[in-house]
């Protein structure tokens, strides 16, 4: 019997020992997540009694790498299956630089093929089919009582950056002409990427409603942290406004009934190496406050913020000063603390109350810093066990938050 059968009949949050929710960024080691049902069963079997913010369904442990590597092989659309410049059956993209994606310096880079008419469909992620399969599984198992199905969606800003190779261009890894082309393409086609992503969100939302079920979109943007890391502190207020506007555009262009969680302060985990060395929460708070204000003015819901305080090389800080900027985070921003590091169990337990002390409130959920897909099965198991320990840790109240 699938764990879905048993879990669906039981209300969430029945385990009184869990004082905070549990959030999973999504991915699992490929040995575990052999398919979506196996991934859901794995999460559920290990979190009985805990309240999950969402139930992931076996996201790609390589984030968008498989997507990027698939672009040169994409075929023309049926209504555009004519030849391009006399060359039949060529898809929209051609390779600028090949890469094995072993680290952030070896990512593949593409550009539009000469003669191709750019279309939002060029950037589709393929989430629609995956989501339908997950809801079919949930319906068969009678799983409507579960946490919402959680779907990972890369920010269009991040997707465009990586598709056209802007990071490689900025790091001078491309020839001058290719680098300039990457920057031009990113800027020229940014709205097409956003249109593709928001169309896909709308389709997935409709599928959830078709099944009478719930869905939550995890909008992922490591570029937020990187954007601050690559600019001087004097420019951070302007960067916060720009990144908040870009992020808000995606949410506001999506159906008003769609719900999001923002994976918005991420160090990345490719090769267990962080993409940024910035360990300062001030810009994160400025960005999130600005985003919350922008969405509030537009009458849209403010998404919870999942933020990492550790990465593949750095354990959770245990000095109170590191978390002081959290005092300025708006009180209506729900926080999912990415503090669970199975390599530093003691520091994880010390960091959580420091975070809550500066927030002057408990966090809504605890989590790992990123997905578990690049861990071994044993490491993933240990991380989940630690996350549950943190979810059950005593909450300081009253004057202890002063």
Q: Is residue 74 part of a domain?
A: no
| pLDDT (average), residues 383-401 | 83
- Measure the CA angle with vertex 224, ends 268 and 309; round to 5°: 50
Q: Is residue 268 part of a domain?
A: yes
Rounded to two decimals, the pTM is: 0.87
Three-state SS annotation for 300-359: CCCCCEEEECCCCCCCCCCCHHHHHHHHHCCCCCCEEEEEECCCCHHHHHHHHHHHHHHH
**Residue 302, domain CATH:** 3.20.20
Check residues 107 and 364 and name the one with the higher pLDDT. Answer: 364
Each residue's pLDDT tens digit, 18-76: 899 999 998 898 898 778 788 888 999 999 999 999 999 866 666 777 777 777 666 65
Q: Is residue 221 part of a domain?
A: yes
Query: What is the residue range of 392's domain?
Result: 3-58+130-163+176-401
5 pLDDT above the threshold of 50? no
* Predicted local confidence at residue 185, as pLDDT: 83
Q: Is residue 86 part of a domain?
A: no
Q: Name the region of 54 (left: φ>0; alpha: ψ -120 to 50; beta: rest).
A: beta
Q: Is residue 78 part of a domain?
A: no
Q: Is residue 21 part of a domain?
A: yes
78 pLDDT above the threshold of 60? no
Burial category of 318 from C-beta neighbours within 10 Å (exposed 0-12, middle 13-18, buried 19 and up): middle
3 pLDDT above the threshold of 60? no
Q: Pairing between strand 109-112 and 93-97?
A: antiparallel
Torsion sign (Cα): 26, 27, 28, 33: positive
Q: Report yes or no: 253 and 198 within 8 Å, Cβ to Cβ.
A: yes
* Predicted local confidence at residue 152, as pLDDT: 92
Q: How far apart are CA 101 and CA 97, in angstroms?
A: 11
Q: How many CA atoms does the CB half-sphere of 11 hold within 13 Å?
A: 4
Q: How many CA atoms does the CB half-sphere of 61 hold within 13 Å?
A: 19
- Measure the CA angle with vertex 383, ends 378 and 387; round to 5°: 150
Q: Is residue 204 part of a domain?
A: yes
Q: What's the structural domain count of the chain?
A: 1
Check residues 261 and 170 and name the one with the higher pLDDT. Answer: 261
Distant-in-sequence, close-in-space partners of 398: CB < 8 Å, separation ≥ 6: none
How far the first Cα of the chain sits from its last, in Å, is: 49
3-state secondary structure of 124: coil
| pLDDT (average), residues 323-327 | 98
Helix axis angle for 190-210 and 176-188, nearest 10°, is 50
Q: How far apart are CA 221 and CA 226, in angstroms?
A: 9
Q: Is residue 48 part of a domain?
A: yes
Q: Report yes or no: 338 and 307 within 8 Å, Cβ to Cβ.
A: yes
């Amino acid at each position: 019997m699938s764990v879905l059968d048993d879990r669906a009949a039981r209300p969430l949050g029945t385990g009184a020992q869990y004082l905070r929710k549990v959030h999973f960024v999504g991915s699992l080691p490929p040995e575990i997540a052999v398919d979506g049902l196996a991934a859901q069963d794995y999460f559920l079997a290990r979190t009985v009694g805990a309240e999950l913010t969402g139930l992931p369904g076996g996201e790609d442990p390589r984030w968008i790498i498989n997507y990027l590597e698939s672009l040169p092989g994409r075929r023309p659309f049926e209504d555009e299956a004519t030849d391009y410049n006399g060359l039949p059956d060529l898809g929209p993209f051609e390779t600028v630089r090949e890469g094995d994606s072993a680290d952030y310096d070896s990512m593949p880079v593409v550009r539009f093929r000469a003669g191709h008419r750019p279309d939002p469909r060029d950037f589709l992620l393929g989430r629609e089919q995956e989501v339908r399969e997950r809801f079919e599984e949930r319906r068969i198992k009678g799983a409507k009582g579960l946490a919402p199905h959680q779907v990972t969606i890369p920010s269009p800003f991040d997707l465009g950056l990586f598709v056209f190779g802007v990071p490689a261009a900025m790091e001078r890894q491309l020839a001058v002409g290719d680098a300039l082309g990457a920057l031009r393409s990113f800027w020229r086609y940014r709205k097409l990427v956003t249109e593709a992503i928001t169309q896909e969100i709308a389709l997935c939302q409709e599928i959830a409603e078709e099944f009478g079920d719930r869905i939550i979109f995890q909008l992922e943007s490591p570029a937020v942290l990187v954007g601050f890391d690559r600019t001087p502190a004097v420019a951070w207020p302007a960067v916060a406004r720009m990144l908040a506007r870009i992020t808000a555009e995606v949410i506001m262009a999506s159906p008003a009934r769609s719900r999001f969680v923002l994976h918005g302060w991420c160090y990345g985990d490719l090769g267990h190496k962080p993409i940024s060395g910035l360990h300062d929460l001030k810009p994160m708070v400025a960005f999130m406050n600005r985003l919350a204000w922008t969405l509030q003015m537009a009458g849209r819901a403010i998404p919870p913020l999942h933020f990492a305080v550790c990465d593949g090389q750095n354990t959770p800080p245990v000095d109170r000063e590191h978390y002081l900027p959290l005092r300025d985070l708006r009180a209506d921003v729900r926080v999912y603390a990415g503090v669970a590091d199975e390599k530093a169990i003691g520091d994880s337990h010390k960091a959580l109350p420091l975070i809550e002390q500066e927030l002057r409130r408990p966090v809504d959920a605890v989590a790992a810093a990123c997905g578990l897909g690049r861990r071994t099965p044993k490491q993933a198991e240990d991380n989940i066990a630690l996350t549950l320990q943190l979810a059950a840790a005593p909450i300081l109240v009253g004057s202890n938050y002063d």
